[in-house]
Amino acid sequence: MRLFAGLMGLALLSACVQPGAPTPEPRQAATFAPDAQGMAVLPSNQRVDFGRSPKGVIPALTRELGRPTPLPLTGCPAGITQRLRWGVLELSFTAERFVGWKRGADQHGRVCA
């Protein structure tokens, strides 16, 4: 009797699934393309421009790129309070703003030497 009840339960559950229902698309990872105003977020039309709060910028990049590596502030201009690296992308922040990026030999905004 228990076996019959279990099989009936499975049959009822399978009836709830719609055949041919689309499966959700996997989320496409964002790519950050540094430019003169900050960074474009591809493939969307969103941006992370200079002047944005670190409280918004850091969690967004961490969510997409993983945990950053903190870097020393040696050689940084006055006012830079935080310097973080995600792979080859390095960002500079004041206490209140995203102020610069560096990627290889390319850089824009306020960056550390």
Confidence of residue 6 (pLDDT cuts 50, 70, 90): very low
Burial class of residue 81 (count of CB atoms within 10 Å of its CB; 0-12, 13-18, 19+): middle
Confidence of residue 25 (pLDDT cuts 50, 70, 90): very low
Cα Rg of the chain, angstroms = 23
Q: Give the mean pLDDT of 57-76.
A: 96
pLDDT at residue 30, rounded to an integer: 84
Is residue 86 within 8 Å of residue 68, measured between CB atoms? yes
Name which of 30, 29, 39, 31 is nearest 107 in CA terms.
39
Structure pTM?
0.74
| Predicted confidence (pLDDT) per residue in 67-111, tens digit | 999 999 999 999 999 999 999 999 999 999 999 999 999 999 999
Would you kindly state where each structural domain of the chain is located, as residue ranges? 30-109
